[in-house]
Chains A and B, each alone.
Chain A
Amino acid sequence: EAQVTQNPRYLITVTGKKLTVTCSQNMNHEYMSWYRQDPGLGLRQIYYSMNVEVTDKGDVPEGYKVSRKEKRNFPLILESPSPNQTSLYFCASSRLQGAFDEQYFGPGTRLTVT
Chain B
Amino acid sequence: AQSVAQPEDQVNVAEGNPLTVKCTYSVSGNPYLFWYVQYPNRGLQFLLKYITGDNLVKGSYGFEAEFNKSQTSFHLKKPSALVSDSALYFCAVRGSNDYKLSFGAGTTVTVRA
Complex Cα–Cα for A74 and B90 (A)? 24
The answer, among A4, A31, A40, A99, for a CB contact under 8 Å with B32, is: A99
Closest-by-CB residue of B relative to A90 is B43
Question: Are A45 and B42 CB-contacts (below 8 A) given A100-B51, A102-B34, A102-B49?
Answer: no
Are B99 and A48 neighbours in the complex by a CB distance under 8 Å?
A: yes
Give the distance in Å from the alpha carbon of A42 to the alpha carbon of B49 in the complex. Answer: 18
Q: Give the residues in chain B near A59, CB-CB below 8 Å.
A: 100, 102
CB distance from A78 to the nearest CB of B (A): 20
Tell me what chain A mostly uses at the interface: helix, strand, loop, or mixed: strand
Chain B's interface size range is: 20 to 34
The answer, yes or no, to whether B103 is at the interface (CB within 8 Å) is yes
Contact residues on A (Cβ < 8 Å of other chain), bracket: 20 to 34
Q: List the count of A-B residue pairs having beta carbons below 8 Å apart.
A: 61
Binds B, one of A12-20, A79-87, A104-112: A104-112
Secondary structure class of chain B's binding surface, majority of residues = strand
Distance between B7 CB and nearest chain A CB, rounded to angstroms: 13
A101 to chain B: closest residue by CB: B49
| C-alpha spacing A71/B6, complex, angstroms | 34
Partner of B45, one of A42, A56, A105, A108: A105
| B→A interface (CB under 8 Å) | 4, 6, 32, 34, 36, 42-46, 49, 51-52, 90, 92, 94, 99-106
Seen from chain A, the residues whose Cβ lies within 8 Å of a Cβ on chain B are 4, 31, 33, 35, 40-45, 48, 50, 56, 58-59, 90, 92, 96, 99-100, 102-108
